[in-house]
Structure 1
């Protein structure tokens, strides 16, 4: 069973950077999920799919995996391209574009 070590991206509903600084070790599912016939819920008998371990750094997560003999795959995060624009930049005298309202 292979574990994924990655830094989760922020959700679409998040404007901040909560839960994006720590690294997560998660197991890949061994058995596909099954649909329970009565209620229609998805279930799995794979208990490791419920396990999530949080680490402060990538090195700590890798050290834990090697110490416990866990096969792992490290996924490097994609850093977002952010432009730092403030609201007051709309009213600068040196603004390139003109007001269009």
Structure 2
């Protein structure tokens, strides 16, 4: 029963970075999900898969795991590849990409 401690990535459906500043504590799945033969739904008997704790810092999440003697792995967040741009950047006077006129 190993736990994962990580910061979630930005969702692809939104441009904002909400809910990406907290650290998540989740258990790794112990067994693969099974398909119900009658309805076709996926299910699992692993109840720890439903637990998801949120912490303000990585140190708080690590302290929780050590206090309760839970083995854990910490996954550091990957840096974003591009800096966010605003629509108004297209019309800046000191634009580097070259002259752009209407």
TM over 0.5: yes
Structure 2: gaps (5+ residues): none
Q: Aligned residue for 1:99?
A: 100
Q: Distance in 2 between matches of 1:39 and 1:49?
A: 21
Question: What value does the CA root-mean-square deviation take over the aligned residues?
Answer: 1.8
Deviation above 6 Å: which 4+ runs of structure 1? none
- Structure 1 residues 46 and 85, CA gap change in structure 2 (3 angstroms): closer
**1:31-50 residue CA offsets vs partner (Å, 9 max, x unmatched):** 11000011100000000011
The residue that corresponds to 2:76 in the other structure is 76
Corresponding residue for residue 7 of structure 1: 7
What's the counterpart of residue 91 of structure 2?
A: 90
SS of the residue aligned with 1:49?
helix
Distance between the aligned counterparts of 2:49 and 2:99, measured in 1?
Answer: 55
Tell me the residue number matched to 2:55: 55
TM-score of the two chains, using structure 1 as the length reference: 0.88
Q: 1:60 to 1:37 in 2, by over 3 A?
A: same
TM-score normalised by L of structure 2 = 0.87
